[in-house]
Amino acid sequence: MVAPEEDLKSLQAFVQEHEAVQAVFIKPPSTVPNINQMTASPSAPATQTANFQPKQGYLSPAPEGIDAMSAWQHPGGRGDGVNIIDLEWGWLFTHEDLIHNCRGLLRGTNHPQKDHGTAVLGEMGGNDNGFGITGICPAATIAAVSFNNVPNNIPSAKAIAYATSIAQPGDILLLEIHRPGPRFDFQERDDQKGYIAIEWWPDDFLAIRAAVAQGLIVVEAAGNGAENLDDPLYDTPDGFPQDWTNPFNRANRDSGAIIVGAGAPPSGNFGPDRSRLDFSNFGRCVDA
């Protein structure tokens, strides 16, 4: 059910009184993680884009990176035959480094906020063309499904279910979205404090588990809310089904998703190498 925010509490109370209803909960809107805003250079853009691959330290051998360059030397190491679907808000599919292997938007409405999604697609599948960046798996096929707050767009659980329906075992679903959690009463905040991984909500959890059961690899953002996901706060939500248990406690149940937080790169002033960045969620359910 979709309704104006000011009507949600009264609608929840009304629906809960129906004898056929087992649970009613208010689900806050999803959002993409904040991304650093860059000021445009006053200079005219170059007529030809330079090769930025030497600046991509994460492609290098450890400890600087994940040694994607070594993987490229082996059969399949460039992502041949791999399909990746990114689920978030918006993308710039006409970007010059996303031309050769990008299927574009498969379902949903593209959002004007395109920076995060475009960066994610580039990190994974940016074309190896001698200019711009090169993706970790530049031969993989990349695509997108959007669930955002544009009117009439599909909700997150339906977006995951759709991506699952068109994917094959071994394909990858990347969930780059988080939501306001109970720490601040599910309120949207500019600093995104208290935002958590989407699998905490029952419908998203079921959609993720169904994808994993089909043989898909689901990679899910832990969220940028600076939250300890082991906190007992997440054990007792209001309005969830009576048989619901907290998925952040893997002793209860496990969606099967690989939950990923944010860590400090070796270069820059971000803190100790590979340490947790202060905005990243953490806890026993976070795999990497």
| Helix 156-166 / helix 202-213 crossing angle, nearest 10 deg | 10
Specify the 3-state DSSP secondary structure of 270: coil
Instruction: Assess if residue 43 is contained within a domain.
Output: no
User: 3, 8, 12: which is closest to 240 by C-alpha?
Assistant: 12
Instruction: Assess if residue 275 is contained within a domain.
Output: no
pLDDT digits (tens, 9 = 90+) for 210-234: 999 999 999 999 999 999 999 999 9
pLDDT at 43: 85
pLDDT digits (tens, 9 = 90+) for 131-171: 999 999 999 999 999 987 777 778 999 999 999 999 999 99
For the question of whether the overall pTM of this predicted structure is more than 0.85, the answer is yes
DSSP class of 271: S
Instruction: Assess if residue 91 is contained within a domain.
Output: yes
Distance from chain centroid for Cα 195: 13
Instruction: Assess if residue 45 is contained within a domain.
Output: no
CATH number at residue 178: 3.40.50
Instruction: Assess if residue 287 is contained within a domain.
Output: no
**Between residues 2 and 171, the one the model is more confident about:** 171
User: 67, 34, 6, 36: which is closest to 192 by C-alpha?
Assistant: 34
- Domain count within the chain: 1
- For residues 197 and 205, the answer to whether their CB atoms sit within 8 Å is no
pLDDT at 226: 97
Residue 190: domain span: 5-33+60-260
Distance from chain centroid for Cα 107: 16
Distance from chain centroid for Cα 30: 10
Instruction: Assess if residue 278 is contained within a domain.
Output: no
Instruction: Assess if residue 238 is contained within a domain.
Output: yes
Instruction: Assess if residue 82 is contained within a domain.
Output: yes
